[in-house]
Amino acid sequence: MLQSALQTGLAGAISLMVVFPLVWIISTSLKSRAEVSRDPLGLPKTWLWSNYPEAWDVGRFGTYFLNSILVVVPVVLGVLLLSLLAAYAFAMFTFRGKNVLFVLFLAGLAIPIGVLVVPLFYQMLALNLVNTLWALILPEIAVSLPFGILLLRSFIGGLPRAIMDAGRIDGCNALQLLWCIVAPLSRPALLSLLIFNFMWSWNQFLLPVVLVQTESARTLPLGLSFFQGRYSSDLPLLMAGATISFIPIVIIYVIFQRQFIKGITAGALK
Amino acid sequence: MLSLQSWDGLGPREFVGLEQYSRLMSDRLFWLSLRHNLLWLLGATVVPVVAGLLLALLLARSRMYGRVLFRTVFFLPQVLSSVTVAIIWGWIYNPTFGALNVTLNALGLEFLQQRWLGDKSLVLPSLFIAWSWVHYGFTMVIFIAAIDGIDEIYFDAAKVDGANGWWRFWHIVLPFIRAPLTTVLLITAIAAMQVFDLVFVLTNGGPARASLVIPLLMIDNAFIYSRVGYAAAIAVVLAAIILVFSILFLYLRGVFRDEAA
């Protein structure tokens, strides 16, 4: 009993290290500039909500939000569909060159995106895609596929064969089998993959830094970094901008935290 | 292929063989960044891993109240974008209004106040702490899952033998988490070699290049100094280092797997 109480107390103290910076940011975002310099640590005396619409307008967060959504949705859908198809093929069929192809995909897992961005920029330039959202969508799908295929292949490989045989006897062809039996049964793995890719592409910073130079194509992290550069002296406004950008992902995380953590562990322990 | 050429990104390309690599070997900035990266790597294989393990030991296999809540909170920094993290820490480190210096002041420890990101000898450790604040969450959840997965029998046997906590950790927990430990080390090490976002937003390699790292050197060469071939050579070296680490870790993991079997 005593030990448990001690543990809870210790864990509570440590969680302050996470909670305090976030609360402090929100509290600063509700102050006036004068109050920040007078009392940087305390809670705001009057809550100045007007910092939020101001940050939203001058920071053009509307555009950045829209761009982020326009990038993340096709990325997540593309990764889910393509990895499901490829993983299904790798798990269920034998075909020529299967092992070579699979090793090629795995090699993609070992080559980090930091190494690829420079040549990638010139490829996108040649394709005339620099400064478009496609320059963010296509490479993000490409770098996310190896992980998705690996995760789904091992999941599909572990599904009971008897169900699929039953489906085949009932006259399903390969695609019907995938759509009616394999995909619904893979829902937990698909959900993990969805959450992962959502988080990765929502927070992706290196790709937009390199591939986007116009304001109209900036995503949320890139837009926020420019906002930070411009308003670094106006702390309340900056903190309002930061809050606007982290609130959505935190809400999604809190709702789906079980899946987040399950997905991370499933991916790493495989 | 780009790394064997000399190219400014626009004009004609010229094949120069290994010249970019020999230039790299005599580039003072390259060795400086490599040193910073390796220090970062060293820190990254210790701090987030040990912190994650300690938190996992606190939370795993316990029936404490609010276990899931604490795990959720501890992991939270991991889902924030690196720019958000940079803004949070940029402000904690702010010399006049930042939480760190204000707190030191309130405690009467003014002499400890520093320009955390403006001092050449402090900037790397300060950035590293901000980075660790994010990355321990990942190691923690992996360790929790691994420790929760250990069969209860071993702990019961230890209880019968009257073993203390330290003994339990050393002889039960540690042997079981060796394989996940190598995975965690590998993933953290790869992330450490690629560190870019935080440094780019907070210091851009400054002050006086005291926080310059390899990925930043690469991006600067490619897009600011227009030395594309040179940047590609840096990328190849970075990839080679990461590859060597991956092979080393996968080998170790294989050894541990065989021992466990």
Q: Give per-residue pLDDT as tens, B200-254.
A: 888 887 787 888 888 888 888 888 887 888 888 888 888 888 888 888 887 877 7
Q: What are the tens digits of pLDDT across the range A68-124?
A: 999 999 999 999 999 999 998 888 888 888 888 888 887 777 777 778 888 888 888
Which residue from B84, B103, B122, B100 is spatially nearest to B201, judged by alpha carbons?
B84
pLDDT of amino acid A83: 93
User: What value, to the nearest 5°, has the Cα angle with vertex A231 and ends A239 and B210?
Assistant: 95
| Mean pLDDT score, A242-256 | 88
Residues in B closer than 8 angstroms to A261, CB to CB, are 71, 75, 141
CA–CA distance, B168 with B174 (Å, rounded to integer): 9
CA–CA distance, A112 with B184 (Å, rounded to integer): 16
CA–CA distance, A252 with A233 (Å, rounded to integer): 31
For residue B43, the one-letter residue type is G
Residues in A closer than 8 angstroms to B87, CB to CB, are 25, 224, 228, 238-239, 242
Nearest CA in chain A to B228: A118
The answer to whether B81 contacts A265, with C-beta atoms less than 8 Å apart, is: no
- Say if CB B256 and CB B178 are below 8 A apart: yes
**Token pair in block for residue A269:** 């322990």
CA distance A8 to chain B (A): 7
Residue B15: strand pairing partners: B5
The answer to whether B238 contacts A36, with C-beta atoms less than 8 Å apart, is: no
Which comes out higher in pLDDT, residue A31 or A219? A219
The answer to whether A246 contacts B84, with C-beta atoms less than 8 Å apart, is: yes
- Say if CB B18 and CB B230 are below 8 A apart: no
**Token pair in block for residue A99:** 């092992």
Percent of all residues in chain A with a pLDDT value above 90, rounded to a whole number = 11
Cis bond leading into B207, ω under 30°?
yes
| Mean pLDDT score, B165-181 | 82
Mean of pLDDT over chain B: 83
The answer to whether B141 contacts A264, with C-beta atoms less than 8 Å apart, is: yes
Chains A and B form CB pairs within 8 A to the count of 176
| Mean pLDDT score, B64-72 | 84
pLDDT of amino acid A45: 78
First to last CA, chain A: 36
Exposure string of A30-50, with b = 16+ CB inside 10 Å and e = fewer, is bbeeebbeeebeeebeeebee
pLDDT of amino acid A79: 95
Is the pLDDT at A137 greater than 90? The verdict is yes
| Residue B10 pLDDT class (50, 70, 90 cuts) | low
**Token pair in block for residue B223:** 């897009």
Is the pLDDT at B260 greater than 70? The verdict is no
pLDDT of amino acid A75: 95
**Token pair in block for residue A6:** 């001690």
Which comes out higher in pLDDT, residue A210 or A33? A210
The answer to whether A114 contacts B223, with C-beta atoms less than 8 Å apart, is: no
A122 touches chain B (CB under 8 A): yes
Nearest CA in chain A to B196: A206
CA–CA distance, B87 with B202 (Å, rounded to integer): 8
CA–CA distance, A84 with A150 (Å, rounded to integer): 10
- Say if CB B14 and CB B5 are below 8 A apart: yes
pLDDT of amino acid B65: 76
Q: What are the tens digits of pLDDT across the range B120-141?
A: 888 888 899 999 999 998 899 8
Is the pLDDT at B257 greater than 70? The verdict is no
Mean of pLDDT over chain A: 85
pLDDT of amino acid A163: 82
Which residue from B125, B103, B100, B129 is spatially nearest to B114, judged by alpha carbons?
B100
pLDDT of amino acid B7: 67
Q: What are the tens digits of pLDDT across the range A191-241?
A: 888 888 888 889 899 889 888 888 888 999 999 988 888 887 788 888 998
Residues in B closer than 8 angstroms to A19, CB to CB, are 73
